[in-house]
Amino acid sequence: METISAVSSRTVPPDPSIADALGTHHELHTALADLVDNSIDADASHVRIRLLTGDDSITGLLVIDDGRGMDDADIDAAMALSRRRDYGDTDLGHYGLGLKAASLSQTDVLDVYARAIGGQPVGRRITRDDPTRVLTLDAGQVGRVLDSPLADTGDAPVSGTVVHWRGFRAALTSPDRDERRSWLTGLVEDVRDYLGLVFHRLIARGGIEISIDEYDTALGRAGAVRRVRGLDPLALGATAVNPRWLEGEVGRIPFELTAVILTDSALNAPGVTASQRLFPAERGQGLYVYRKDRLLQLGGWNSVIEGGRDYENLRIAIDVDDSLLDVVRINPEKSGVVLEPEMRRAIHASAGKEVGTFSELLASARSAAVEGRRRERRPIKLVEPIIGLDRDVYDAIGESVEFTDADPIRIRWERMPAGGLVEADIERRVLRLNDLYRHVFSTTTEPEDAPLLKTLVYLLYSRYFEGSYLGAREKRDIAAFERIINAALADELRRRDEGEE
């Protein structure tokens, strides 16, 4: 079939409804990191994130920098939704949507005020309702805002930019003031730690100083300044951390991996604990992907390996330059990447002089994890459950307790007389659940269903499987448990019947 020729073309501007999709996956901390990227690209040395508060509620937000500022042409380009500017070799920007997508994900009105060296103040506004319509703000009023206490950080910059979120959609609206204050405090700490992780390399070398404060709009003044400290998630400066380097190549483009298997002492390093808290899955293990010293991804394996508890202390940093962006694709929020199959294969093929192959690195991580579990004190002993619980639940049990030498048990649904829910069959090594009531606790028939019920029952009954028979005391205990559980089951069934009437 012949290729049909194009006879004309036209550029179609985006519909205003595009705002519904802008920044869909942004959270406050990723949105602010995107704005800090813009400040760094503008050669700022200081960035102040200022939360505007009233009665312990966020009413708006400012991001103030001392960068080179903007003139009319620059600010028009920055605010245009359909235009992507040219980026320099060191710029952190990538898609050209950061300012708009990040801001409109959090607020309904975005104002930008700027002043270049020797230039006049300029200001623009876009709204979430009509993001393709850029409003020009009164230059005199913009100048007064730039010179006001609201935008004053004590540095008296001769140029710079202020991003103003007029409103904040995600603010907690609880009527309890103490609850609002607690939420606000936690929010500040999360943002502070996230920015400390994302920009830790730039902060460490003195390339940028980032700080956070609150500005009480009723009092008209800012509170204490909280500086963002650099937090290295690989703890490369910690004692006993031994980095290992591997080299790889994809499409004749070289890359380098920096791997660490965290020791017990390094697990308490500030960057490690912060990354575990902000990326709690699997204790922060996995890939830490950087572009131009800006962290793009905090942990996760991106289908390179399955992961699991044997790799919980393995972390690998990858530095990605623009030549690798065809095989390492950055998501628009710059909070994660997608590795193409050829990149994943290249990681598996990587090797280093001291560490050996990637497979040998994984083997070292597994050995360290096994040794760590052997050293860890587990005061609780339970019988091992081999059937009935999902692998993640089983792993959590194995990490928290020590299995006894008794034969393992199975947890399963079986047909039993009505009225009873649980039975400990010591001889068969089965913890039985009454299949008559499965529908009460589960919507499936999978062998690992009803994990909460099974886990609670397992924790209650495990010790009775440690011996080969039950003594009089144990039988009395189990009979008491059965009476209590069966009474609770009857009450549960009664309440469900009443709710269906």
Q: For residue 360, what is the enclosing H or E element?
A: helix 358-375
* CB neighbourhood size of 241 (10 A): 19
Domains and CATH numbers, the chain: 16-227 (3.30.565.10), 244-373 (no CATH), 381-500 (no CATH)
Tokens 């028979």, located at residue: 469
β-strand pairing of 430-434 with 409-414: parallel
Dihedral sign computed on CA atoms, order 36, 266, 339, 318? positive
Closest CA to 13 of 112, 135, 131: 131
Q: What is the DSSP string of 197-258?
A: HHTHHHHHTTS-EEEEEEEETTTTEE---EEPPP--TT-TTSTT---EEEEEEETTEEEEEE
pLDDT tens, per residue, the chain with 501 residues: 665 555 655 655 665 555 555 556 789 999 999 999 999 999 999 999 999 999 888 999 999 999 999 999 999 999 987 555 454 554 444 444 678 989 999 999 999 999 999 999 999 999 998 888 899 999 999 999 999 999 999 887 889 999 999 988 888 888 998 899 899 989 999 999 999 999 999 999 998 999 999 999 999 999 999 999 999 999 998 877 889 999 999 989 999 999 999 988 888 899 999 999 888 667 899 999 999 999 999 999 999 999 988 998 999 999 999 999 999 998 877 778 999 999 999 999 999 988 899 999 999 999 988 887 776 666 788 999 989 999 889 888 887 888 888 899 999 999 999 989 999 999 899 999 999 999 999 988 898 999 999 999 999 999 999 887 888 889 999 999 999 999 999 999 998 888 766
CB atoms near residue 455 (< 10 Å): 19
Give the span between the Cα atoms of 60 and 43, in whole angstroms.
25
Type of residue found at 250: V
Helix axes 451-461, 391-400, angle to 10 degrees: 30
| Total number of residues shown for the chain | 501
The phi, psi pair for 58, rounded to 5°, reads -80, 125
- 316 within 8 A of 358, measured Cβ to Cβ: no
- Comparing CA positions, the residue from 64, 86, 66, 62 lying closest to residue 74 is 86
Which three-class secondary structure string do you get for 76-111? Answer: HHHHCCCCCCCCCCCCCCCCCCHHHHHHHCCCCEEE
Centre a 10 Å sphere on the Cβ of residue 137 and count the other Cβ atoms it contains.
Answer: 17
Answer whether 285's CB lies under 8 Å from 298's CB. no
Return the percent helix, strand and coil in the chain, to nearest 5.
Answer: 35, 25, 40
> Is residue 92 within 8 Å of residue 223, measured between CB atoms?
no
